[in-house]
Chain A
Amino acid sequence: MKKTIFTFLSFIISLSIVSAQKGIDFSKKYSAGGKLLMSVDSGAKNVYYANVFPNQPNTSFSYLPDVNNLSIQINFRKNINIPSFRYTILEDDKPIVVNQSIDSTKLEDTDAGGDEEIFSSTFLGTFAVKGKVITVLVYSIEKPQDIEKSVFYGNPIPKAEILAFSKRTATEEGVDYSWVKHPKGKTKLTFSEKDDQITIVKDKSAIDYLYYTSIIDKRNDKVIFESTAWQYGGIVDKHEFLPFIDIDRSIFKKSGTYEIIIQPLIKWKTSSKEIQKYITRHTLSITLKEENYTKKDLLVYGLIICAVFGAIAGAILTYVKKKEVKKLMQQFKEKEIAKLQLNSVRSQLNPHFLFNALSGIQNLMNKNEIDNANKYLSKFARLTRNVLDDKELISLAQEGKLLDDYLQMEQLRFGFKYKINQAEDLDLENIEIPSMLLQPFVENAVKHGISQKANDGEIIIVFNKKANDLVLTVSDNGNGFDPMKKYNGLGLQLSDNRIALLNSIYKENRFILEKQSSSEGTTINLTLTDWL
């Protein structure tokens, strides 16, 4: 660093007198890129020299807003083949010097101020730069592609102008663009799922490479995007290539306010207020809209949603159905169990009178009453067969016949009277009831009601009809029993169970058992509701 300073100082001393009339302060030398140095007006402020930019190799940019004149020098190291170098100078794109070789006669050695290295140096000229752009191109004919370019910018750097935004939308055919041209200050953009990119189009200038673009999320002031890489394409309505930047839409994670900032990448050395005039700001109000679907999408999504809901509904239905089937199975099972219990209850009714009946027949045989023995044997066989047949239902006529058989057999043992009355309008042959429904009550009437009363005892059985109900009544004139007390007779207990089971099987009907007992006798009413 010291070496450089000393080099510059030696230049200043040796050349200051030469250019004094131009008002250039040769005491200050600014690096101007490549092999160039520059000196500017003595009073000039704001010399932003030797700015370099991404993607612009070998270009040095000096922004000289306050400079009227500048002097440009070129320095060569000693080992460089100076005659091979050429330079071109442009003033506002107009060449004023073209492919000029170095005038070796004017080359002077300049030391490096304490350094051993000695440079060969010469002036390329002094230029009025105010309101102009001076461009110097330096290259060796040995390497004509390696052009060192220095730009001395005497114009004010223009603020970048956003010419347009475009939004790219994926379609069935490919992509579609929608445009917002010449936006002012603030732009509202709505992005759907199909929008994948936005493009910022800038006005064209010779110094587009200066401009740095950033996007800031205003919620947290974080830079979510930055770029200095301008592309060029035939866009907007001008028939020329314009600089643009493509921005992936996905940088916008949420709806909200964003700011686009486009600014020249100058190494400013001034107040930020001063800098603001070079900065372009544009507010983007972004709305992310997820549900902006096309018809096809709607159909597809609709189908997916339907499928999902269908699956859920299906699952629920299957579950419900399974439950229903389970419930039905359960009901069926319960019914089967009830039926089995019913059967066992039914068959348990019989030993009570079966063996008594047999002993009654035995008695007839011993008394040599052959015809009576035959008669009662047949009755006994009928009763037994009815139990063994295990029929769920028998007709009222059959039930009456069995009760008649039974009572006749009991009459062998006890002397009593009985009647079986059947209402005339009952279709005895075809009305069916659970078999042996009344037998236990009749048995009870015989054993506990009238067995002590001998010939005065009377049992009356009635099959009657009340509206749609079938009413079966067994009454006796015995001593009665306490209906509230659980009777110890097995037959009656079983009958209670049986009626409960029947109620669980015949859900549409009710089996209602009423017991009335007094010292005058006992009456049992069994009502089968809606049976007829």
Chain B
Amino acid sequence: MKAILIDDEISNLENLRTLLEKHCPQVNIVAAAQNVNDAVNAIEIYLPDLVFLDIQMGKQTGFDVLKALPHRNFEVIFVTAYDQYGIQAVKFAALDYLLKPVDIDELKTAVNKASQKLAAQTQTSQLDFLLQQLKRPEATTSKIALPMQSEIRYIALSEIIRCEADNTYTFFYLTDNEKILVSKSLKEYADLLKPNGFLRTHQSHLVNPAFVKSWLKEDGGVLLLASGDKIPISKPNREIVKQALQQL
């Protein structure tokens, strides 16, 4: 796998290079760049399979590199230190990212995933989706990328009635009666979707308030959805759900 490393700090570049050479021998580092221009040039010259892309690069961002490229025929693994900006968008696009200092196990997992995706040729659309997301103000996302076994689905939030946990998997119940299984925990989607108004009513349930029909008093509190589903509200969440529904 041809790879290019992009980070504005030389020590980070060296560190990543060391770790990749030691733990991920399948990665062939062909170039490294410390600013957006160099990065764009390097990518256009070397046509890499994989790009390790730092998000915060001085006054510019790794996203600027992506925007400058007409063709993005490569996998991207974002690398960020402590960076709220953009991470939400990356998560919505279901793209991979690493946190600095890089954990060796996480690095190995990310590299393996990237090589699988390269075989499946799916990431281009995710990057397009990411750049669209970035144009929007935060927390006004209208769509989310849901990685399924063989494809990435882009689902409008207004189509999601509710999510239900199944261990480390999550079921998405959609308005067209479709049920999608995604291999990420409900907790992760709860963190993503709560800023968009979704309600965590229960350890196993996340609900789109737009589909809440009424609050039933049975069993200490149950939400009746327009779909007819009854969703339990657990005690620790009762007050927060009540407040949220009152504000609707």
Contacts and interface: CB of A to CB of B under 8 A. Distances in A.
Interface of A: 371, 374-375, 377-378, 381-382, 385, 388, 395, 397-398, 427, 429-432, 506-509, 528, 530-532
Q: Chain B: interface residue count, which band?
A: 20 to 34
B88 to A, nearest CB: 13
16 contacts: A374-B104, A377-B101, A378-B105, A385-B99, A388-B82, A397-B185, A398-B187, A430-B165, A430-B167, A430-B185, A430-B203, A508-B236, A508-B238, A509-B236, A530-B235, A532-B234
Contacts of B82: 385, 388
A429 B167 contact: yes
Contacts of B185: 395, 397, 429-430
Contacts of B109: none
Nearest to B185: A429
B149 to A, nearest CB: 19
Nearest to A395: B187
With a 10 A CB-CB cut-off, give which of A388, A429, A530 has the most chain B CB atoms: A429
Nearest to B84: A389
A345 B185 CA distance: 29
A368 to B, nearest CB: 15
A381 B239 CA distance: 34
Interface in B1-38: 19
A427 B203 contact: yes
A429 B206 CA distance: 14
B239 A427 contact: no
A381 B235 contact: no
Contacts of B100: 381
Contacts of B130: none
B187 A531 contact: no
Contacts of B104: 371, 374-375, 378
Contacts of B236: 506, 508-509, 528, 530-531
Contacts of A388: 82
Contacts of B187: 395, 398, 429-430, 432
B223 interface: no
Task: Determine which residue in B104, B165, B235, B236 has the highest number of CB atoms from chain A within 10 A of its CB, and name it.
Answer: B236
Interface in B215-242: 234-236, 238-239
Interface string B95-138: 00001111111100000000000000000000000000000000
Given A374-B104, A388-B82, A531-B235, 8 more contacts: A377-B101, A378-B105, A427-B165, A429-B168, A432-B200, A508-B236, A508-B239, A531-B234
A206 B185 CA distance: 118
B94 to A, nearest CB: 18
B196 interface: no
A430 B204 contact: yes
A294 B1 CA distance: 100
A431 B205 CA distance: 11
Interface in B63-110: 82, 99-106
A508 B167 CA distance: 26
A529 to B, nearest CB: 8
Interface of B: 19, 82, 99-106, 165, 167-168, 185-187, 200, 203-204, 234-236, 238-239
Contacts of A375: 104
Contacts of A398: 187
B235 A508 contact: yes
A378 B165 contact: no
A430 B235 contact: no
Contacts of A427: 165, 167, 203-204
A435 to B, nearest CB: 12
A80 to B, nearest CB: 109
- What 9 pairs between A and B have smallest CB-CB spacing? A378-B103, A508-B235, A430-B165, A429-B185, A530-B235, A430-B203, A431-B203, A395-B187, A429-B168
B186 to A, nearest CB: 5
B186 A430 contact: yes
Nearest to A378: B103
Given A378-B104, A381-B100, A388-B82, A432 B235 contact: no
Contacts of B101: 374, 377-378, 381
B179 to A, nearest CB: 18
Contacts of B103: 378, 381-382
A508 B235 CA distance: 6
A359 B52 CA distance: 30
Contact of A381 (B99, B168, B200, B203): B99
B165 A429 contact: yes
Contact of A429 (B99, B106, B186, B200): B186
Nearest to A531: B236
A466 to B, nearest CB: 15
Nearest to A398: B187
A530 B239 CA distance: 14
A431 B203 CA distance: 5
Contacts of B168: 429
B102 to A, nearest CB: 8
A531 B235 CA distance: 7
B204 A507 contact: no
A390 to B, nearest CB: 11
A432 B165 CA distance: 13
A532 B235 CA distance: 8
Nearest to B221: A508
Contacts of A382: 103
Nearest to B243: A332
A473 B82 CA distance: 32
A507 B200 CA distance: 18
A377 B99 CA distance: 12
B239 A507 contact: yes
B204 to A, nearest CB: 6
Contacts of A532: 203, 234
Nearest to B105: A378
A276 to B, nearest CB: 87
B117 to A, nearest CB: 24
Contacts of B235: 508-509, 530-531
Contacts of B19: 374
A374 B106 CA distance: 12
A371 B100 CA distance: 16
Contacts of A432: 187, 200, 203
B124 to A, nearest CB: 31
A429 B239 CA distance: 22
